[in-house]
């Protein structure tokens, strides 16, 4: 069964450092997303991406965040200067046209 893969599974970084989280969406999907879940809280939408550009972003997705699809398969989330409150599980997801998103297993980011 096709799946969304994410790397790394866990990243520990120092505050102020740049972090790149990587995702390989399902190959025939056209829409890509990043969500995050801070420990003990709900899963929150960050950004959606279609046709090589951001289609929507939340208030969380400020200038410190960026997304890129550098080639035909990868979809990355970059956090330029990490803060303590960026510590969370980051989920990549992809979809075709329907509402059903397929999520990856997540990348846990710990900012010290």
5 φ/ψ angles, rounded to the nearest 5 degrees: -110, 140
Cβ at position 81, least distance to other proteins in Å: 26
- Who contacts 1 (Cβ-Cβ below 8 Å, separation ≥6)? none
> For other proteins, which is the closer residue by CB, 79 or 101?
101
> For other proteins, which is the closer residue by CB, 9 or 81?
9
Residue (of 38, 31, 5, 23) closest to 74 by Cα position:
23
Alpha-carbon distance 26 to 22, whole Å? Answer: 13
Cβ at position 23, least distance to other proteins in Å: 11
Alpha-carbon distance 84 to 61, whole Å? Answer: 15
Cβ at position 59, least distance to other proteins in Å: 11
**Distance linking the first and last C-alpha atoms of the chain:** 36
Cβ at position 37, least distance to other proteins in Å: 8
Binding site for other proteins (CB under 8 A): 4, 6, 30-31, 35, 41-45, 48, 50-51, 55-56, 91, 93, 95, 97-106
> For other proteins, which is the closer residue by CB, 15 or 101?
101
């Amino acid at each position: 069964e096709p799946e969304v893969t994410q790397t790394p599974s866990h990243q520990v970084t120092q505050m102020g450092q740049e972090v790149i989280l990587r995702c390989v969406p399902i190959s025939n999907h056209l829409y890509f997303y990043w969500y995050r879940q801070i420990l003990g809280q709900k899963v929150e939408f960050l950004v959606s991406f279609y046709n090589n550009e951001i289609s929507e972003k939340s208030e969380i997705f400020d200038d410190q965040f960026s997304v890129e699809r550098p080639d035909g398969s990868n979809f990355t989330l970059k956090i330029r200067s990490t803060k303590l409150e960026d510590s969370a599980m980051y989920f990549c997801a992809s979809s075709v046209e329907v509402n059903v998103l397929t999520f990856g297993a997540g990348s846990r980011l710990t900012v010290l």
